[in-house]
Every structure is written in C-alpha cells, then in structure tokens.
Amino acid sequence: FGGPNLYVDYQPQTIVQNAEFGEASWQFTPALKGTVGLRHYHYSLAQTNEEYGVFTVIGNGTTQAYNTAFSNGASGTDPKFDLSLQAAPNVLLYATAAKGFRLGGVNQPIPVALPPNPNGALTGNECGLQQKVLLIPASQCFIGPQAGLLLQAPASYSSDSVWNYEIGEKSELLDKHLILNVSGYYERWSNPQLATNLAGFGITANGGNARIYGLEAEMQALLSQEWTLALNAGYTNAEFTQSSSITGFPSGYNVPDIPDFTASANLRWKHPVTTNLSLIGALEGDYVGTRTDAPYGQTVSLLNINTYLIHLPAYGLLNARLGLAADRWTATVYVNNLTNKQALLDPQPQIDLQSVAFVRYLVNRPLTAGLDLTFRFQ
C-alpha cells in the first residue's frame, strides 16, 4: 500500500556435504561378535543475510539495513566399535563406543555500536556482549577500559560432537512373555551448540564441554491374551565440565533442559468381540523430572547466572483411550491430560520486558477429549 517495509529477513543458505562410510564385522566365536565402522565427512556451508525494515534492529524503513555473508565448514572421521556376546539363547550383552557430530551454522547478523548512538538497540547488543565476555553488570557497560571497546558477536558456530560409551543387555524371558532391556552410558559432548541471548537478540554459540551419564531400562510384558504392559525409566546426570562466557553456563552446572528422571507406563487392552472386531483401550502415563534452564530472552552471563537460572518442577501426565478396532479401521475416544495437570515445560522470552520478576512459561495442553478415526486403504 505504499508504506515502508515492516520487516524483511532473507537468509539463503547453501550446504554441501560428502561422506564415505563402511563397517566390518568379525565372528570371534559362535557367541562373540565384533564390529568396527568408520564414517568420514566433509561439509561446507555458505549463507548471506539481508535484513531491513521498520522493525529491524536498525529500523531504516525501506533502506537495506544489514547485509552480511559468512561461511563455515569442517572435515572429520567418526568411528564406531561394537562388541556383542550371546550369553544365552535369549540374552544378549553388548558394549558400544561411537562418535557422532552435528553440522555447524551461521547466525543472523547482529549489529553493534558504541554510545553515543541514536539507536539504543545497537548499544544494547554491545552491552549484552560486554556483560557476557567481560563479566560486568549492565550498569558498567561503556565505563572504564571498555568505554571504547567494540566487541563482535559470533558470526557463526562450529560443529559439535559426542563420544558415546554404552554397555547393556537385551533379553527375552518367560517364553518371550517378558522383554527386558537395561543399559548404562557415558557421553562426552564437545563444543556444544547452545542458544543464548544478547539484550533480546538470539544467537547460537559453542559452549563449554559437557559430560553426561545415565541409566535406561525398559520392560514389555504380556500379562494375558488381552493385556500388555510397557514400562520405561531413565536417569540422566548432565553437567558442563568447562565454563563458557558467551553462553553464560559455568563448569559444574547442569546442561539446560535435561530432566534428571524420566519414566513412562503404558497399559493396553484388546478384547475380541467378533472374528475381525475388537474392543481396545489404553492407559498411558508419563513422568518428567526436574530441569534447569535460563529464559531465552535474558542476557545470561557467568556473573548473573544464579539470578536468572530457573528450576522447572517435575510433572506427570495421564492419557486414556477406548474404542473399536477392525482389520482396516479404528475408532477411539481419547482423553489426554486426564487430571488436567498444568506443567511448566519451558521458560519463554520476554524481549520487550526483561525482568526477573516477570517470566513467562510454555505450559502443556489442558484436559483434551476427542474422537480419533483411522482408515487404512490397504
């Protein structure tokens, strides 16, 4: 309608990735088997950024405000080692060590400026960087040695990698009426990619290394011809082993948004009515333990992490289903969140109102009921 552009953000990206991989296995004995695998990769990434409009950080209307170009790339080899022992006809023991990686990327442009500057957002971005990198409160920005210091936010972030070490067992017991799997693992997370914030401006940065260990157990039981039960439980301990000024998480702090305990239970029922028609039902429960996180809208640094860190409480949810099932269709009535529990899932940003006293949360759906119809054409 002839007015200025409100917000335009154009970020074309090109990724080229090549990989060669292979594995070999050796049967040492009839019960003992070893496997070795290798995957070599190379990737390159290029991205240009064009951002302009009234509601950009520059706010120049139809004038192109920021135009940048960055590239990223890496090469490496990820190995895998696996050793399995068939301890009994229905019992498998295994040990695995494997490495995996995730592509790096490019951040959107983050313009910064020193005062005096008519655009407060630019000086706000610079102040956010000074809080993180120089470990100072916001009131000390642009004072003293950093008065004329112009820091730059990371234009890109590198790939991160995980070494995973796992031992476990898989067994089928009681004439295959009971399946039991148990495992323990230890992981070393290098160069982790974490979301962080500069005065309301979000970026992804590589944080300090972390270590993760835990236990997992799952069970499936055929209780009778009509009833089956599945149980799952897990324990995780995830901590940073290095501090990171840009992400704001110190060594010894929990990796954000990883629950300490998780569990689920699923009880299913199927009662034949005719040859190809059955009554079906299910009762499902999920438990998620406590987590720690920092609101994405806050400028979190090693200096203020204890002020902003949020401890999310544990919660449990219950779902139920009842219906009919035939060869090619099912019809079920469901009730999700049967107890109408309100759980805090994640702290949400408040870019225009950054205050410790005002924190928004993402919550789960309330009690929801409905009808689910499924038809299979073949």
Task: Report pLDDT digits (tens) over 15-40.
Answer: 999 999 999 999 999 999 999 999 99
* Number of other CB atoms surrounding residue 192 within 10 Å: 22
Nearest 5°: CA angle at 121, between 120 and 124? 85
User: DSSP class of residue 358?
Assistant: B
- How many whole angstroms separate alpha carbon 149 and alpha carbon 126? 9
Q: Is the pLDDT of residue 368 over 80?
A: yes
Residue pair 66/53 in contact (Cβ under 8 Å)? The answer is no
pLDDT of amino acid 108: 79
Say whether pLDDT at 64 is over 60: no
> What is the set of domains in the chain, with CATH numbers?
174-378 (2.40.170.20)
Overall average pLDDT of the 63-80 stretch: 80
pLDDT for residue 71 is more than 80? yes
CA distance 27 to 298: 55
For the stretch 270-326, pLDDT in tens is 999 999 999 999 999 999 999 998 877 788 899 999 988 889 999 999 999 999 999
| pLDDT for residue 359 is more than 80 | no
